[in-house]
Amino acid sequence: MIDLYYCGTPNGLKMTIFMAEAGLPHRIIPVDLGKGDQYKPEFLAISPNNKIPAMVDHAPVDGGEPIVLFESGAILVYLADKIDRFLPRDLRGRNQPQDLR
């Protein structure tokens, strides 16, 4: 299971859109930015820059200890890699714009 530390801001919504597209089971852990939840020690232990989104993957593909990540870009790359979708493996597919015509 993936714990997603979330608030309904654009950076939070990136995550829920990705989760829906990927069909990844996850649990939302609400972080109320208006109330200052992002400064609580338990959240800072996961996201030291006091920002959402952050996540804990309790079932990483290597079967090892949970993976803790913050920063939306890093999380998106991690999740795409985890499910082997949305992120081409080859150098040019991954780094050059695709012709979508």
9 versus 96: smaller Cβ distance to ligand GSH? 9
Residue count, binding to ligand GSH (CB under 6 A): 12
Give the DSSP letter string of 78-92: HHHHHHT-SS-SSHH
| Residue range at the interface with ligand GSH (CB under 6 A); choices 19-27, 51-59, 61-69, 90-98 | 51-59
Beta strands at 54-57 and 67-70: parallel, antiparallel or unpaired: antiparallel
Q: Which two tokens stand for residue 68?
A: 């803790």
CB of 96 to ligand GSH, least distance (A): 23
| Residue range at the interface with ligand GSH (CB under 6 A); choices 18-26, 46-54, 61-69, 76-84 | 46-54
Q: Which two tokens stand for residue 37?
A: 């939840």
